[in-house]
Amino acid sequence: MSVQLQATPSEVILGLKSLQLRCSYTTATGEFVTGVNIQAKINGQFKSLALFYTPLVPLNATLTTDGNYLTNRVTLTNPTTTGTDYAVIQFSEIACEDEKEYMCQVPYTGSSGSSTENSSVAYINVRVNPEKPDSVPSYEPSGGIEEGNDVIFTCTGNVGKPQGKFRWVRYRRNSNGVIIQETPYESETTTAFQIPWKWFCTFRGTSSLTLKIEQLDNNVIVRCQIVYQNVTKGSLYKQTYPINVYYSVRNVQVSKSSTNTFFAIGAGPITLKCTSDGNPAVTDYTWYKESKYYVPIGTGSIYVINNVVVNETDTYICVAQNSFNGRTFNMNNSIHIQIGE
């Protein structure tokens, strides 16, 4: 007598509609099978799930008390002969509790009397596909972020079974939204726990990423995506909206409307222009002469010298200023204008 138990497939996805446990047996001459007993390991012990009968015992296959959890999810098929045949549990719906070790026991009679033969153990592994993270990654602080801040991003969701993980990616972008730098973070830990429910035995995961924010992170997007069975799932991600990063005024430059090194007395107006970088964008510009530094001579990014005379020769200073989070920042630069010889 030989007995074999086969699970097809042996790894199934939760909710799959097709799984078969088949107990096959082959008898020797003079041996007759009287039934089949498919068992599962429950609480550390193999217990009978379903009893099957051959034509020698004309009864319908039935679930046992320990197998009642399969009610309305399986179809039982008796063997049709007492020689070479099989008994089948056909699953129409897979639940997490179907992940078990299974064994088949076949009682039979022969020339030496009654006996039983056991199959080797078959194992059904229930896999749960991951899903997109629950929501857009949260982050702290959630507003008023400025250069130099440490910002903590957090992502949660169903990472699947076997347990997957989250992968982080930072996308630095220019002011037009074009990605200028992509930085993956592969080593951040995903902590997870398994949901103890027969219909959803997946792992819930949480991962955090801490970034030291820089000027280049203005308009940044941070993405959290699923890695499952060592494969990055490109469509399973959520990402932040573009993040505004405050930074103080810098890169102040002063230019003039002409490339002349000096200007003739009575020449046309000389236009000076002040530019800078900062977020919020700089709109507060104040102009001074070096000779009278404490007396402003104009405001705005452009200053025009209309009266081109000798006593207007001076070093012109532009002070640029921006403010955020209750603080004000300023930076200046200058240009020398020579009028006459």
Do 171 and 280 fall into the same domain? no
Give the residue from 281, 278, 286, 276 showing the smallest Cα distance to 316: 286
Q: What is the arithmetic mean of pLDDT over 161-178?
A: 96
* Domain assignment of residue 114, yes or no: yes
29 pLDDT band, cuts 50/70/90, is confident
Do 160 and 267 fall into the same domain? no
pLDDT beyond 90 at 15: no
Per-residue pLDDT, 247: 98
* Domain assignment of residue 170, yes or no: yes
Do 75 and 181 fall into the same domain? no
Pairing mode, if any, of strands 125-127 and 11-13?
parallel
Report the range out of 23-27, 52-56, 200-204, 220-224 with the highest average pLDDT.
220-224
249 pLDDT band, cuts 50/70/90, is very high
Q: Which residues contact 323 (CB under 8 A, 6 or more apart)?
A: 280, 329
Do 163 and 224 fall into the same domain? yes
Do 38 and 121 fall into the same domain? yes
Torsion angles phi and psi, residue 312, rounded to 5: -90, -5
Do 311 and 272 fall into the same domain? yes
Per-residue pLDDT, 82: 65
Q: What is the arithmetic mean of pLDDT over 159-168?
A: 96
Q: What is the arithmetic mean of pLDDT over 139-147?
A: 94
Residue-wise pLDDT for 88-124, tens only, equals 999 999 999 999 999 999 999 988 889 999 999 999 9
Dihedral angle, C-alpha 252, 258, 262, 263, nearest 10 °: -120
Q: Which of 180, 213, 239 is the last residue of a domain?
A: 239
Do 233 and 254 fall into the same domain? no
Q: Which of 239, 266, 286 is the last residue of a domain?
A: 239
Per-residue pLDDT, 99: 93
Residues spanned by the domain of 314: 248-337
Do 174 and 214 fall into the same domain? yes
Report the range out of 147-156, 263-272, 308-317 with the highest average pLDDT.
147-156
Do 17 and 50 fall into the same domain? yes
Q: Domain tally for the chain?
A: 3
- Alpha-carbon distances, residue 335 vs 102, 187, 277, 332 (angstroms): 86, 50, 18, 11
Q: Which of 92, 127, 162 is the last residue of a domain?
A: 127
For the record, the structure tokens of 150 come out as: 């440490």
Q: Which residues contact 144 (CB under 8 A, 6 or more apart)?
A: 246, 324, 325
Buried-state track 212-242, b at ≥16 Cβ within 10 A, e below 16: ebebebbbbbbbbbbbbeeeebeebbbbbee
- Alpha-carbon distances, residue 252 vs 174, 275, 277 (angstroms): 20, 6, 7
Do 16 and 118 fall into the same domain? yes
* Domain assignment of residue 132, yes or no: no
pLDDT beyond 90 at 295: yes
* Domain assignment of residue 117, yes or no: yes
* Domain assignment of residue 133, yes or no: no
Q: What is the CATH number of the domain that holds 287?
A: 2.60.40.10
Give the residue from 123, 118, 124 showing the smallest Cα distance to 4: 118
pLDDT beyond 80 at 196: no
341 pLDDT band, cuts 50/70/90, is low
pLDDT beyond 80 at 81: no
Q: Which residues contact 319 (CB under 8 A, 6 or more apart)?
A: 285, 286, 287, 288, 330, 331, 332
**Which region among 70-84, 144-158, 202-216 has the lowest average model confidence (pLDDT)?**
70-84
What global pTM score does this model have?
0.83
pLDDT beyond 70 at 319: yes
* Domain assignment of residue 327, yes or no: yes
293 pLDDT band, cuts 50/70/90, is confident
Do 67 and 146 fall into the same domain? no
pLDDT over 70 percentage in the chain: 98
Strands, E assignment, 163-246: 165-173, 179-185, 190-194, 203-212, 221-228, 231-239
Do 25 and 121 fall into the same domain? yes
* Domain assignment of residue 190, yes or no: yes
Q: What is the CATH number of the domain that holds 212?
A: 2.60.40
pLDDT beyond 90 at 84: no
pLDDT beyond 90 at 268: no
> In three state form, how does the secondary structure of 120-162 look?
CCEECEEEECCCCCCCCCEEECCCCCECCCEEEEEEEEEEEEC
259 pLDDT band, cuts 50/70/90, is confident
Q: What is the arithmetic mean of pLDDT over 122-146?
A: 95
